[in-house]
Amino acid sequence: MKMILDNLWQVGGDELTHPADAAIYLIRFGTAAALVDAGTGHGHDQMLTNIARCLPAEVPIDYLLLTHCHFDHTGGAAAARRIFSCRIVVHALDAAYLETGDSQVTAAAWYGERMAPLPIDLKLDQEETVLPIGSGAVTAVHWPGHSPGSVIYHTEISGQRIVFGQDVHGPIHPALRSNEKQYQASLAKLLDLDADLLLEGHFGIYRGKTAVQKFIRSFMR
């Protein structure tokens, strides 16, 4: 478990739960919390231990906010939903691959795994959706490119703009239904958000506007 800011933690990832896991973040807004992504599920027990170290048992996890459909972010989603009774949020364009358990487009097959069909509670279909959580809120923004229904989530903590942008680095691959043109437009959109803190799925945590912008620009054409 890694504390990032007050009420913001990394509770999973390749060094925290399982080598194949993308980052799992936990954010608390007073009386309720949310998870961002769920890893492969292979580090599930360690994730639960890490969460218990951050969050008192009486504070509910209202949402599991999925950034996109890929297995390294979603394989653990069903178990997290069962344990926490949280609602799974994902963009409608990626929900389709999770609900049917498409092991190709979710990249489960790349990991030698099978994606089991996953129930989705809330399908995002707008450019932006505000999700109230406890005393705060998270804004979901459609961020297509790496996958058709990729999403970034942003919020403010102590006046800092925090962006959960998993797989900002790509890759762009036809088997993933990636789209380079959309990806480039999404990178520009991410730059405009002017984040103070960018939480990436595989590349770690970028602190400060300069470091965030440098990372984003490194993928722009």
Distance CA 64, CA 87 (A): 6
Nearest CB to Zn ion, comparing residues 62 and 167: 167
Positions in 20-39 near Zn ion (CB under 5 A): 22
Q: C-beta of 58: minimal distance to Zn ion in Å?
A: 32
Q: C-beta of 180: minimal distance to Zn ion in Å?
A: 15
Of 130-138, 177-185, 195-203, 208-216: span binding Zn ion (CB under 5 A): 195-203
72 near Zn ion, rule: CB under 5 A? yes
Q: What track of x and - describes contact with Zn ion for positions 157 through 186 (by CB under 5 A)?
A: ----------x-------------------
Q: Of the candidates 155, 153, 168, 71, which has an alpha carbon nearest to the alpha carbon of residue 113?
A: 71
Phi and psi torsions of 111, nearest 5°: -95, 10
Give yes or no for a contact between 90 and 98, defined as CB atoms under 8 angstroms apart. Answer: yes
Nearest CB to Zn ion, comparing residues 70 and 154: 70
Distance CA 187, CA 143 (A): 8
Cβ-based neighbour number of residue 108 at 10 Å: 23
Strand partners, 12: 24
94 near Zn ion, rule: CB under 5 A? no
Choosing from 18, 28, 44, 70, the residue that interacts with Zn ion (CB under 5 A) is 70
Distances (CA, A) of 125 to 91, 122, 129, 133: 6, 9, 8, 19
Q: C-beta of 166: minimal distance to Zn ion in Å?
A: 6
- Contact set with Zn ion (CB under 5 A): 22, 70, 72, 167, 201
